[in-house]
Amino acid sequence: MPACTIRIAEPKDIDSLAELHVAIWRDTYRELAPPEAFNALDVPRRKSFWQDKFAHPATGQGIFIAEVEGKLAGFSLASASSNPEFGEMAEIKFLYVSPAFKRQGIGKLLIAKAATHLAGEGFKSAGLGVVEGNDPAIGFYRALGGLESGRYTDAGPLWRSPNIIYAWPDVTVLSALNS
């Protein structure tokens, strides 16, 4: 694999993040999401989302970008959780890798960077929600030691998807993946 660089995202990355977010989301959920959600999620909608994340960061927020040879290969977003199902855990809200760069260790690098950031923000544990039926992601999180710790229905606004929570009671376990 060519060298992968993980860096902190900046507002100048909003357009690229929005485009990649939509492309990966559509690839990942094409068989899972209802057609109305699939069709409604577009680049302008995601651009607005990312603009808001930069303008109004959540507590402990970190946004990270993976680049390979100057190309955006993936991203992660982590912060305090707004979902009551997560309790005191921080939440890795997004961990997406472009299909062109999957199975090259980029997801592992991104989750480790997010976990290191969360530990630095004082969080002891972290979790994430994965849509039921997203078997590749479920396998990945289990392989990284994620423990199924609950379920919830995403509040939307486009799709009230059923989700499984995978948790790491000690966030530093994920941070160690970086070494």
Q: What is the pLDDT of residues 44-75, one digit of tens each?
A: 999 999 999 999 999 999 999 999 998 999 99
As a whole number, mean pLDDT of residues 145-166 equals 90
Contact 120, 150 (CB under 8 A): no
Which range has the top average pLDDT, 95-109, 110-124, 146-160?
110-124
> pTM of the predicted model, to two decimals?
0.93
User: What average pLDDT does the chain have?
Assistant: 92
Is residue 30 pLDDT above 70, yes or no?
A: yes
As a whole number, mean pLDDT of residues 116-132 equals 96
- Which CATH number fits the domain that encloses residue 74? 3.40.630.30
Contact 27, 37 (CB under 8 A): no
> How far is 141 from 130, CA to CA, in rounded Å?
9
Contact 128, 118 (CB under 8 A): no
CA neighbours closer than 13 Å in the CB half-sphere of residue 140 = 21
The boundaries of the domain holding residue 97 are 4-178
Looking at per-residue pLDDT, the higher value among 178 and 103 belongs to: 103
> How far is 176 from 113, CA to CA, in rounded Å?
9
Query: Considering only 2-11, 33-42, 158-167, which range has the smallest mean pLDDT?
Result: 33-42
> Within 10 Å of residue 141's Cβ, how many Cβ atoms?
25
Counted domains in the chain? 1
